[in-house]
Amino acid sequence: MLKITDLQVAIDADAGLVRAIDGLSLCIERGETFALVGESGCGKSLTALALMRLLPDNGRVTDGRVEIDGQEALSLPESAMRRLRGGKVGMIFQEPATSLNPVMRVGDQIVEAIEAHTDLRGAAARAKAVEWLGRVGIPEPERRVDDYPFRMSGGQKQRVMIAIALAAEPAFLVADEPTTALDVAIQAQILDLLKRLQREQGMGLLLITHDLAVVSGMAQRVALMYAGQIVEVASASEFFAEPKHPYARLLLQSLPGAHKRGSVLAAIAGTVPPLSQTFTGCRFEPRCDRAFDRCRQQAPALSAPAVCPADVVPMPSTGAALQREVRCWLHAVPNGAEAAPAVPLTTASIAMGCVSVAPLAAAEAPPGADLLLDVQHLSVGFPIRTGLLQRISSHAAAVADVSLQIRRGETYALVGESGCGKTTLGKAIVQLLRGQALIGGRALLNGQDLFGLRGDALRLARRSVQMIFQDPYASLNPRMRVFELLEEGLLSLRPELDATARRQVLETWVDRVGLRREELQRYPHEFSGGQRQRIAIARALAVEPRLIVCDEPTSALDVSVQAQILNLLKQLQRELGLSYLFITHHLGVVEYIADHVAVMYRGRIEESGPTAALLADPREEYTRRLLAAVPRLVGV
């Protein structure tokens, strides 16, 4: 269905020519699910954009071939490519908020795709759009079909994007982080839908994701990318049972979970190297715990050609070729004689620049009586406007009578499906809904009611309570450089710092969240989704708050960077006594980081309690269904 041969993609950037994809080859059979995984900035999304011919203006394919169902896509005229794109090949984009047209109703956007690539028109196309909204889990699709994107939660916008991509029933689907913003229940529903479409239509699927549990349950084959190259290709069962490349092994050891609670996750130190440089050796060598001299002197090749030869054993379900490929000198050294032994992941190895696993200090239980935030009977209602003059006729309840308490040094996790009110609750606490919604109840920070503050008192409180937003792209001003974005908060909330001190603070936080200092002069669009999330995290932490509302802070991050951020959040919590209201869909993260967890459903808290007790013995039916939908990593 798809064959990519020696693909080379270059980006013209201020730093020079960036070789974003360097010699990538892969092929995907009809009906096969092929997963492309790897760190933020390694080239996964650019691979998808290149094969769809949707590269940004400063990007271009410099070499290689892309064949889609036998057609050479890179040489097609744009008119023919438009028929192929969206009709035969659908794509789910990584960031739905920037992919949906903000001035078009979501139903019109789905109808547009249906009418462009099928014979349906008018009322029939609209009925099909309503059907697809229901199939992807949008409640009340007959009413929501006329909503604009801004009226929907992040997860609901993601589902609309999925509906647009699938509405024309393509033969091949490119899914770039299709379930990132979805709760586990809707994620399971969407993945089941994709599996059903594959069975019914023989649809091929290129799945780009950092969720390895989803990969283990969906994919037949896996390709791991690093710094613009594929470094390992294997069947999913082989990859998770016995990863060959050191990068693959470290990624799997970075996964959070209950069994790692109280210890430091095995985060890989450093970041993906800048691709504007010329490489002489292995691109992973500076971060590898098994590197030896040959790794620094000579670049390894994949251990087998990146093609689908006819003489390999076919996969029973799809006929896809089963072939193991690794780009590593370890597998070219007899008995590993030249290789350095692996650094044990339970000991510090920061001095080697390999794996950041410094031991945590002894954990201390959050003080029982040291209350920081006390939310009492909080309700939030958004106005419903009707009539020619759009007068407010009633209010739609988004949060209903919620009470919770967060103590100093405590992590309080809030889970639940998209649209249940989690983000609305967080924004109300941070005072971001004033004038937009009807708010009742109280939110006491150190005994002071946040809803009663005005002027300088409110400004002082904003330094104490910060928020990491769910959508980093929408929360970062595209016209400001990273340095300006980070400095803005310091200028407003820490005016005592001079320019030199502000620079030192910002460089410190950029280092701690895993970005390079030279990237401070770049704009948000020059970063990957995961890198933008790290910028958002640095911005929230720079003003030294006491409480941070973390709205899906790791949803856009690959597992290695997620481990770095979780380690950082836990370290700061221990050093500074920070408290977190941690909104997430990732129950593995909840198991690892949260002291207390609450399950939210339709604006109310259904169940809450200590994390271990609630997850081990849920009392409510909704909680049991939510936990049953969590994808589990097979073979690890």
Residues 524, 440: Cα–Cα separation, whole Å: 36
The closest alpha carbon to 177, from 477, 430, 500, 528, belongs to 528
How high is the pLDDT of residue 333? 53
In the block, which residue shows the tokens 């950041």? Answer: 356
Cα→Cα distances 285→41, 190, 351, 430, 531, Å: 17, 38, 15, 43, 21
- Given this model, what pLDDT does residue 422 score? 92
Contact 401, 379 (CB under 8 A): yes
The whole-number mean pLDDT for each consecutive block of 10 residues of the chain, a chain of 636 residues, reads 94 86 92 90 90 92 93 92 89 83 94 93 95 90 92 83 90 88 78 84 89 90 94 93 91 84 79 86 91 92 54 44 80 55 39 35 48 94 83 85 94 89 92 88 92 88 89 85 92 89 91 84 82 86 91 80 83 88 89 93 93 91 87 65
What superfamily would CATH give domain 410-435+452-628?
P-loop containing nucleotide triphosphate hydrolases (3.40.50.300)
pLDDT reported for residue 555 = 75
Q: What would the DSSP string read from start to end of 541-586?
A: HHT--SEEEEESTTTTS-HHHHHHHHHHHHHHHHHH--EEEEE-S-
Residue 322: its pLDDT value, please? 58
3-class DSSP assignment, residue 83: helix
If phi > 0 it is left, if psi is from -120 to 50 it is alpha, else beta; for residue 544 that is: left
Domain with CATH 3.40.50.300 in the chain: 410-435+452-628
The pLDDT of residue 181 = 65
> CB of 312 within 8 A of CB of 318?
no
d(CA 307, CA 324): 11
- Closest C-alpha among 477, 483, 492, 548 to residue 510: 483
| Model pLDDT, residue 627 | 85
pLDDT the model gives residue 350: 28
The model's pTM is 0.75
| pLDDT attached to residue 304 | 56
Q: Where are the alpha helices (DSSP H) in 386-528?
A: 422-429, 455-464, 472-475, 482-493, 499-512
Angle in degrees, 0-180, between the axes of helices 529-542 and 482-493, rounded to the nearest 10:
20
Q: How far apart are the first and last CA of the chain?
A: 30
pLDDT for residue 533: 81
